[in-house]
Chains A and B, each alone.
With several copies, the nearest count.
Chain A
Amino acid sequence: MALTNLPQQLLRDLHEKMFLIRAVEERIKVEYASRRIRGPVHLSIGQEAAAVGVLHACRQSDVCVSTHRNHAHYLAKGGSLAGMVDELFGLDTGCCKGYGGSMHLMDLNANLILSSAILAGSIPIASGIAFALKNEGTKRVCIGFLGDGATDEGVFFETLNLAALMKLPLLFVVENNAISTMTTFSKRQAVPDVVGKAERFGVRGMTVDGNDVLSVYHAAQDILQGMRQTHEPFVLETVTDRLCAHVGPIVYPSGIGADDTLQSRWMREPMLILNEKLRSEFPDQLDASLARERNLRESVDQVFIRGAQRFDADALRLQLPAAPPAQDVRRV
């Protein structure tokens, strides 16, 4: 895919979504320290490209399901930002009215209809959604995100078989960061090859660089176009890195290797790659891009500030202890 063919608008849009997600999650880190966000959060920092690339390539009417690590999917699918932030704060104005929290962001308007914190929990559910979409006769597809850890679970293979057998329009996006909490892929699977396995179950697959949003986007575009004709399932593996700890917005990550590994990961992280492309491709757009980032960050801040105010008001009204007892949130 020659970069010179890239329309400026596409890069702009991808940049906007990528930056929004990053800005939100960076803001969560800050807000978490204030103890207003009370619950386990799984940050997508470093993994945004899969969400943005795939979900920018799909239609609004396509249906998406996600996991414990759903922030990027939720936002990239067009979920309400205020709905998300209020949900994190536990407000009744949250997208799940406070019932879901970070691990269960869902927004029916955006067709992100499910986030399960049970590993592979949303996988078979995606097959039923795809069945319904196929029955409708429209060309909508279902997109199910999962991590490499979820491919340890037998239900993933049951679902691959079901999807292949019934020819369901179901795209699995496996975000392979090669780790499950702190256990590497190759310590968990004798043959850590998602696509190879999927193919044996009758589901075609493909692997892309999951840190390069453009690669993901173009791959997803091709795949989705094909799927809308054939109604056949597909597995897209996006190889990526987790840049934070598994859970909790601990800046210094645990379980993802030593300092040098981490540093090299930060050298190939999706925002960096995208920004470099932007700069080299459209050097004249640099100012516009920076301005966009400022604006995005500001509007994100606004949403958080408003949420925090409402949190404080509710805490006062409901006489919630302002500072809850210290909790071990490192591993929840």
Chain B
Amino acid sequence: MLSFGEALAYATKQAMEHDARVFAYGEGINDPGGFFGSTAGLKEAFSEARCFDVPNSEDALMGFGIGASLMGYRPLFVNLRVEFLMLAMNQLVNHAARLPAMSGYQYTIPLTVRAIVGKSWGQAAQHSSALHSMFANIPDLQVVVPSSVEDAPRLLLASILSDAPTVFIEIKSLYDCKALVHLPIEPLPLGKAHVVRQGSDITCVAISDMVGFAQRVSEQLVADGIEAEVLDLRSLAPLDSAAILNSVSKTKRLAVFDIGWEPFGLAAEVARIVSTSAYHRLDAPLLSIARRHEHTPASCFLEEQHYANEEHAANSIRALVRG
């Protein structure tokens, strides 16, 4: 049994063992228990030359990773919070994502950027927002959103092995989970969704810790005779539209479970995929399950209202399926 953090550390270690061009860096990466265990042991195994602490300079550090990538390295830049990437957006969006195209595809940028979405426990507005939709709008940037201890190391390994710049978004709540992880880690293909539950009444498209949420909601619905199909997208870019359309062609109903905000978010993108398809039509309105479109409040009382609620989601699906 490995914890989420241990599983990520294992995958990183494996990548670093396998390829000397992989190195990891981040603010506080070598703190005892740093990054919730997900970087533990790297320094010991590979020395500070390949796993190093850095100044608090996100913008420069993102550029640093790009530069090393241009020279053939496969850097892993670890960030404690996804909000910190806002300081590095110029390098991420204007450079990491664009340079391969701008150069006429003379080179690739195999940079992986890990960032954690805080959740609950009063993290408040600046430490718990989910900003994946922003990244997924940008061409040539991969956005990976693991949902489980089993998948996360496999997707991380795939990200590190991939030649495209990749933002790998974890959510803090998953760090509490443990699971059996097959060793050595086998990379998963990016852009392939995973049917985590089969069903015929409604397609639940989910990412990150909302996959578990959707699974729990689905279990609740069994008593009502509702069989939900739960699809874990695993990555937002590339996004497995075929898997969504395939499932929807069977269920004709669709719910989207996002860790982020609705406007211009995942539910929107999934709606676009289905709406623009010539062959697939829904029999019912699309149901969107997401956090409120507000900055996360700090208070535990307000947090309760901010995040999606399983009971409420189950009721919404019941109402939808019963028509």
Check A-B contact in the complex, CB < 8 A. Answer: yes
Question: How near does chain A come to B47, taking the closest CB pair, in angstroms?
Answer: 12
B36, B105, B124: the one within 8 Å of A104 (CB): B124
B121, B122, B126, B295: the one within 8 Å of A118 (CB): B126
Q: Does A253 contact B (CB under 8 A)?
A: no
Q: CA separation between A33 and B56, bound complex, in Å?
A: 31
| Residues 192 to 217 of chain A near chain B (Cβ within 8 Å) | none
Contact A98–B301 (Cβ < 8 Å):
yes
- Output the nearest chain B residue to A319 by Cβ-Cβ distance: B304
Residues of chain B with a CB closer than 8 A to A78's CB: none
Q: CA separation between A287 and B49, bound complex, in Å?
A: 56
- Number of chain A residues whose Cβ lies closer than 8 Å to a Cβ of chain B: 75
Residues of chain B with a CB closer than 8 A to A181's CB: 27-28, 31
Q: Does B71 contact A (CB under 8 A)?
A: yes
Number of inter-chain CB pairs below 8 Å = 244
A104, A128, A133: the one within 8 Å of B65 (CB): A128
| Residues 102 to 135 of chain B near chain A (Cβ within 8 Å) | 102-107, 118, 120-127
Residues of chain A with a CB closer than 8 A to B310's CB: none
Contact B298–A104 (Cβ < 8 Å):
yes
Question: How near does chain B come to A92, taking the closest CB pair, in angstroms?
Answer: 8
Q: Does B101 contact A (CB under 8 A)?
A: yes
Q: Does A283 contact B (CB under 8 A)?
A: no
Residues of chain A with a CB closer than 8 A to B105's CB: 97, 99
Q: CA separation between A87 and B297, bound complex, in Å?
A: 11
Q: Does A44 contact B (CB under 8 A)?
A: no
Contact A125–B95 (Cβ < 8 Å):
yes
Quick one: given A103-B127, A153-B87, A331-B33, are A113 and B107 in contact (CB under 8 Å)? yes
Q: CA separation between A90 and B214, bound complex, in Å?
A: 29
- Number of chain B residues whose Cβ lies closer than 8 Å to a Cβ of chain A: 65
Residues of chain B with a CB closer than 8 A to A116's CB: 94-95, 126
Question: How near does chain A come to B142, taking the closest CB pair, in angstroms?
Answer: 19
A100, A152, A154: the one within 8 Å of B102 (CB): A100
Residues of chain B with a CB closer than 8 A to A165's CB: 55
Q: CA separation between A327 and B66, bound complex, in Å?
A: 35
| Residues 98 to 143 of chain A near chain B (Cβ within 8 Å) | 98-104, 106, 108, 113-114, 116-121, 123-133, 135, 142
Residues of chain B with a CB closer than 8 A to A34's CB: none
Q: Does B91 contact A (CB under 8 A)?
A: yes
Q: Does B240 contact A (CB under 8 A)?
A: no
Residues of chain A with a CB closer than 8 A to B224's CB: none
Contact A99–B55 (Cβ < 8 Å):
no
- Output the nearest chain B residue to A144 by Cβ-Cβ distance: B67
Residues of chain B with a CB closer than 8 A to A121's CB: 63, 90-91, 94-95, 126
Quick one: given A39-B123, A99-B297, are A162 and B104 in contact (CB under 8 Å)? no
* Contact surface of A with B, Cβ cutoff 8 Å: 37-40, 63, 87, 90-92, 94-104, 106, 108, 113-114, 116-121, 123-133, 135, 142, 149-150, 152-155, 158-159, 161-162, 165, 180-183, 187-189, 254-255, 314-315, 318, 320, 324-325, 327-332
Nearest 4 interchain pairs by C-beta: A39-B122, A128-B67, A124-B63, A101-B298
Given A104-B126, A125-B91, output 15 extra A-B contacts at Cβ < 8 Å.
Answer: A90-B301, A96-B298, A101-B122, A101-B124, A118-B94, A124-B61, A124-B66, A127-B60, A129-B67, A135-B73, A155-B90, A165-B55, A320-B301, A332-B121, A332-B123
Contacts A/B (CB < 8 Å), 24 sampled:
A39-B124, A90-B299, A96-B102, A99-B125, A99-B298, A102-B122, A106-B106, A113-B106, A120-B56, A121-B63, A123-B60, A128-B65, A128-B66, A131-B64, A153-B58, A154-B59, A158-B60, A159-B63, A165-B55, A188-B54, A320-B300, A324-B120, A332-B118, A332-B121
* Contact surface of B with A, Cβ cutoff 8 Å: 27-28, 31-34, 36, 49, 53-73, 75, 83-84, 86-87, 90-91, 94-95, 99, 101-107, 118, 120-127, 175-176, 295, 297-302, 304
